[in-house]
């Protein structure tokens, strides 16, 4: 049987669902996470809160790879927020920004996939940690989906820039 969630674990899980939904909404509506939209602001704010609440959780009793992913996620999100000010990147800014914010969504799901498959269904979880084959297979599928989505986003940025240039 899977380990039950602590009260903080329940709060963290509930908070972590907000960026999942806001990010998915952004991808469907805008084909990207756009920080200037309401969904983008909700995504980034709840993502930060999700990372902060994760620091009170640890199955190993200290800093773990999930915490490192959280810090990396916040770093990437922060860089994406300042990218428009980095004029030397020129035409690369929308590509890098879309990729970076999509990467934060990708990273958000890495521990989520592991924890979900290691806890559900409660009576007989599908996986038993990051080294279990079902978790590794799901993570591989997630990497492939991320790669395909990133290529699609790059194409969409290129297409929108080409359409604007034709006007």
* pLDDT tens, position by position, 28-37: 999 999 999 9
Confidence of residue 1 (pLDDT cuts 50, 70, 90): very low
Instruction: Indicate whether 2 belongs to any domain.
Output: no
Q: How many domains does the chain have?
A: 1
* pLDDT tens, position by position, 79-136: 999 999 988 988 899 999 999 999 999 999 998 898 889 888 888 889 888 889 999 9
Instruction: Indicate whether 110 belongs to any domain.
Output: yes
Full domain range(s) for residue 38:
7-166
> Average pLDDT for residues 150-159, to the nearest whole number?
92
Dihedral of CA atoms 52, 26, 41, 119 in degrees, nearest 10, equals -20
Confidence of residue 154 (pLDDT cuts 50, 70, 90): very high
> Which one is predicted more confidently, 2 or 42?
42
**For residues 148 and 112, what is the distance between their CA atoms, to the nearest angstrom?**
20
DSSP-derived secondary structure for the chain? -PPPPPHHHHHHHHHHHHHHHHHHHHHHHHSS--TTSHHHHHHHHHHHHHHHHHTT--SSSS--HHHHHHHHHHHHHHHHHHGGG-GGGGGGHHHHHHHHHHHHHHHHHHHHHHHHHHHSSTTS-S-SSTTSHHHHHHHHHHHHHHHHHHHHHHHHHHHHHHHHHH-
Question: For the whole model, what pTM was predicted?
Answer: 0.88
Instruction: Indicate whether 113 belongs to any domain.
Output: yes
Instruction: Indicate whether 62 belongs to any domain.
Output: yes
Instruction: Indicate whether 1 belongs to any domain.
Output: no
* pLDDT tens, position by position, 65-80: 778 899 999 999 999 9
Instruction: Indicate whether 44 belongs to any domain.
Output: yes
């Amino acid at each position: 049987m899977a380990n039950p969630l602590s009260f903080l674990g329940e709060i963290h899980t509930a908070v972590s669902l907000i960026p999942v939904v806001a990010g998915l909404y952004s991808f469907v509506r805008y084909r990207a996470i756009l920080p200037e939209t309401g969904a983008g602001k909700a995504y980034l704010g709840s993502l930060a809160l999700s990372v902060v609440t994760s620091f009170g959780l640890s199955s190993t009793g200290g800093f773990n790879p999930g915490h490192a992913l959280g810090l990396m996620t916040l770093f990437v999100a922060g860089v994406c927020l300042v990218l428009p000010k980095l004029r030397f990147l020129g035409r690369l800014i929308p590509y890098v920004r879309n990729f970076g914010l999509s990467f934060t969504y990708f990273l958000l799901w890495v521990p989520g996939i592991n924890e979900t498959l290691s806890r559900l269904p409660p009576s007989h979880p599908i996986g038993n940690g990051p080294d279990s084959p079902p978790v590794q297979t799901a993570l591989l599928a997630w990497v492939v989906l991320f790669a395909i989505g990133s290529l699609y986003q790059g194409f969409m940025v290129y297409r929108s820039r080409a359409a604007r240039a034709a006007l």
